[in-house]
Structure 1
Amino acid sequence: MNTARAELRKLLTLPSLRRTALLTWAATLLLTYAYASAESRGEPLGDPTALAPLGYTQAGFLVLGVLAAASEYQEGGQIHTTLLAMPRRLPLQAVKALALAAVTLPVAAATAATSTLPASGATWMPAATAYLTLTTLLAAAVAGVVRRAVPAVILLLGLYFIAGPLLRARPGSLAAAYLPDTAALNPSRGAAATIIWTLSALTLAALTFHRRDA
């Protein structure tokens, strides 16, 4: 319990996380307003689904996850202090993931409530909340392996905003259905892919953390 409280306190007191969460929510609000305004004029902007704004503002949750994980390796090597208090690495990694999920969940819910368009927002809001939370955990896992914020952000944004759209643009591409952000476009079809990607990334991060020097 002490470790869990310490991890929660650590996340809640990181200024970069608070700023990222606030900016992401504000960007979502603006995008949703733009989509709703265009839709009311009969001029839909791009993707007409209820989760359309999430296709852009999920970037904020990727950054959120990266900052949460990479901060311990960049700000005075705080990971060493953490390991002194909790030397069992696998349980520590599990606590970190749970703490991040607990912190992300209300932010994801607020963002999902803002980002879903009126036509079917109530239907997709729980799915959007879960998707954003899983996306944050996936990003944190990647950052835990890379241990540097900038390379992790570049890798994730490249996957979500460059590789993903390019694969989807190819006719008959089977790989596109298994990308981690498929759920942002079609929650019913992409949920399994997002869950598998997240669990795989968390497993890799845990094994890396267990075997590699801090």
Structure 2
Amino acid sequence: YSDIENQLGTLRHQKTNHEQICDGAWLFVIGLVKKIWIADVLAPVAALAFDTESSPQMITAWVGTLCYTFQIYFDFSAYSDMARGLGLMMGFTFPINFNSPYKSANISEFWNRWHITLSHWLRDYLYIPLGGSRCGSAKTLRNLGITMFLGGLWHGAAWTFVVWGVFHGALLMTHATWKRLTRVQLNRTLAIGVTFVSVMVGWVFFRAHSLEGAGSV
């Protein structure tokens, strides 16, 4: 709400901006294409790995997980683009919610690029009230873990989401410890690859119907 509060106050005085309407319509179409022609096309392939009673073959598991990794991005970002497009046509400018997250070189950067409004909400209403990074290294790690654990529960009351949140909490804690203890930096291309694979592993828990199902993948 704070992002559009000032816009609400000036909206009644604004005139129809045809350029803004065209830009909003184009953004909506981009989102629609991402949803129908990419996310929905990848979904059946991902289902081959996750919606099966038996354990998938290794190649099926990897291809299915990779497809779901891109499916969930194009699905979520599509809805965000369509919402931003509709808002723009009505005179509102909503913030970008996905900023090329799979180009991230570490897990902290990923969460600064992925579902940005959710990331900010977790930061402002969970991480910072817990003390953020102001209470020493040990409590900082604790705060990261608690925040992501609750972030997992926010997505649903299932063990798969809990494990997904704990997994990302562990990744953030590992990255924070790495930054504190060493100045070694990986080559950016290698770092992007490591981050991408780590996030992809996390999506297995997010997509699976149960922990047993995640284990079979």
TM range (shorter): 0.3 to 0.5
- Bigger Rg over Cα: 2
Normalised by the length of structure 1, the TM-score is: 0.34
Normalised by the length of structure 2, the TM-score is: 0.33
Q: Which has the higher contact order (CA 8 A, sep 6+)?
A: 1
